[in-house]
Homo-oligomer: A and B are copies of this chain.
Amino acid sequence: MKISCTKSSLMNGINIVSKAVSTKSTMTNLQCILIESSLSEIRLIANDIELGIETVIEGTITEAGKIALDAKLLNDIVRKLPESEIIIETNANCQANIRCERSKFNIPGTSGDDFNYLPEVEKNKYISLSQFTLKEVIRQTIFSISDQENTKIMTGELFEVNGDVLKVVSLDGHRISIRKVQLKESFEGMKVIVPGKTLNDVSKILTGGVEDEIRLYVTDKHILFEFEQTKVVSRLLEGEFYRIEQMLSNDYETKFTINKKEFLDCIDRSSLFIKESDKKPIIMNIESSNIYLKIDSSLGSMNEEIEIKKEGKDLKIGFNPKFLMDALRVIDDEEVDVYMVNAKSPCFIRNEDNSYIYLILPVSIAA
């Protein structure tokens, strides 16, 4: 193989596929990037079995071929090269010779004959949306997936399409995050559970433009994200997602409207008094036109009040401040509506049209 390309296009390609390079495995191929060149295009591929990424980079092909190179070393070398043309040439011993201006590198590789290519994904069922929307919806829900591998399904997110609406759901046993996105057209229904790691990785690769399209193709086993010159294929999580409808309700006894920033900043300050060893809830007293927030731990105490617009009963209720903060941080509205039933029932932060719903379980407090 002999190819040449600019540093920026090679670096960009390496950055994209590196998300699918295993950092743990000692199986050589999982830590490698395959550079494969036909007579018409140069392709970079990485695959850690859970996730595979391939991308096409611009360049000039002198001789077709392929080689698998250590991803970290390749990344480091290219990053440190000047902004100039890079030539990669392989020899019969699977050595790669990398040249740029007056630098010459020789690094060992493997033939790539046993490299794991991306699984073929049939392109029957798909949806299309903007990269910006996908990136946003991931950011707004990803924090409430579980990191417990024993509840595998909770480590992923539900992607469900009905007509022209995409619903994304994540939950971890203490809270549920639901976002609904209006698509530009209707698609065939789908319901899949995508691993959280895949979503995090895809989110990092996306440039995030409002005008830039991304297509998601699904089969029983896999999801394919296709955008620009890049394909990302991930396994889906198998199993039935939790039935969340029965946990949602529009009934409430107490509702208040609050300035989001004031509420978030106040809860953030209260979190200073939480020690890992002694998890205290933040206590809210919701009364007429104010909410009184209080936390009291061995480190000290905090009291604060915020003006609210309230409907319904007064209520005293406790929460893990982190759960409230996580939800408030990803809501862009200036004011939020909070709905509660009693001190033991879930609290809902949601907007009028339910395009977002954040359900958070309270923490029991001494009466």
Residues of chain A having any CB pair with chain B under 8 Å? 73, 76-77, 80-82, 102-108, 265-266, 268-269, 272, 299-306
Contacts of A303 in B (CB 8 A): 103-105
CB atoms of A306 and B77 under 8 A apart:
no
Given A102-B304, A103-B304, A305-B102, A77–B269 Cβ distance below 8 Å? Answer: yes
CA distance A107 to B300 in the complex (A): 4
Contacts of A106 in B (CB 8 A): 300-302
CA distance A347 to B103 in the complex (A): 24
Q: Which of B80, B104, B108, B302 contacts A104 (CB 8 A)?
A: B302
CA distance A268 to B80 in the complex (A): 7
CB atoms of A73 and B299 under 8 A apart:
yes
Q: Which of B105, B266, B269, B299 contacts A302 (CB 8 A)?
A: B105
Residue of B nearest to A72 (CB): B272
CA distance A33 to B104 in the complex (A): 55
Contacts of A103 in B (CB 8 A): 266, 269, 302-304
CA distance A107 to B268 in the complex (A): 17
CB atoms of A102 and B302 under 8 A apart:
no
CB atoms of B105 and A300 under 8 A apart:
yes
Can you list 18 pairs linking A and B with CB atoms under 8 Å apart?
Answer: A76-B272, A77-B272, A80-B265, A80-B268, A80-B269, A102-B305, A102-B306, A103-B266, A103-B302, A103-B304, A104-B304, A105-B301, A105-B302, A105-B303, A106-B302, A107-B299, A107-B300, A107-B301
Contacts of A272 in B (CB 8 A): 73, 76-77, 80
CA distance A198 to B265 in the complex (A): 35
CA distance A303 to B103 in the complex (A): 6
CA distance A63 to B76 in the complex (A): 60
Sorted nearest first, the 7 A-B pairs with minimum C-beta distance are A107-B300, A104-B303, A80-B269, A103-B304, A106-B301, A76-B272, A105-B302
CA distance A73 to B272 in the complex (A): 7
Residue of B nearest to A293 (CB): B103
CB atoms of A73 and B300 under 8 A apart:
yes
Residue of B nearest to A307 (CB): B102
Contacts of A108 in B (CB 8 A): 300
**In the complex, what's the smallest C-beta–C-beta distance from A263 to chain B, in angstroms?**
12
**In the complex, what's the smallest C-beta–C-beta distance from A291 to chain B, in angstroms?**
11
CA distance A76 to B268 in the complex (A): 10
Residue of B nearest to A292 (CB): B102
CA distance A234 to B146 in the complex (A): 49
Contacts of A265 in B (CB 8 A): 80, 82
